[in-house]
């Protein structure tokens, strides 16, 4: 998958790692607080799925939208 879009390799790796971290945190939080756990698990799973299955154009659009949140801080 990284060979298919080499210009997005680093970005996809970081996004996948972040998604895996959120999903792991979500599974841990499921044992403590159900609502927060579900939220983080869904968010992390969505980022991992985006990293693995999104085409180049879709991934670029999503990164542009996520970059908008960076401009808020």
Query: What is the H or E stretch that residue 66 is in?
Result: helix 56-70
Q: Say if residue 73's pLDDT is above 70.
A: no
Distances in whole angstroms, Cα of residue 14 to Cα of each of 18, 29, 32, 40, 55: 6, 22, 27, 17, 17
What are the tens digits of pLDDT across the range 3-60? 778 888 898 999 999 999 999 999 999 988 778 889 999 999 999 999 999 999 999 9
The residue to which tokens 């996948």 are assigned: 16
Instruction: Count the neighbouring beta carbons within 10 Å of the beta carbon of residue 58.
Output: 11
72 pLDDT higher than 80: no
């Amino acid at each position: 998958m990284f060979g298919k879009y080499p210009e997005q390799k680093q970005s996809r790796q970081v996004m996948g790692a972040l998604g895996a971290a959120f999903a792991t945190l979500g599974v841990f939080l499921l044992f403590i607080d159900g609502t927060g756990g579900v939220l983080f698990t869904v968010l992390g799973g969505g980022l991992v799925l985006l990293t693995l299955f999104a085409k180049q154009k879709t991934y670029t659009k999503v990164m542009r939208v996520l970059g908008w949140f960076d401009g808020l801080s």
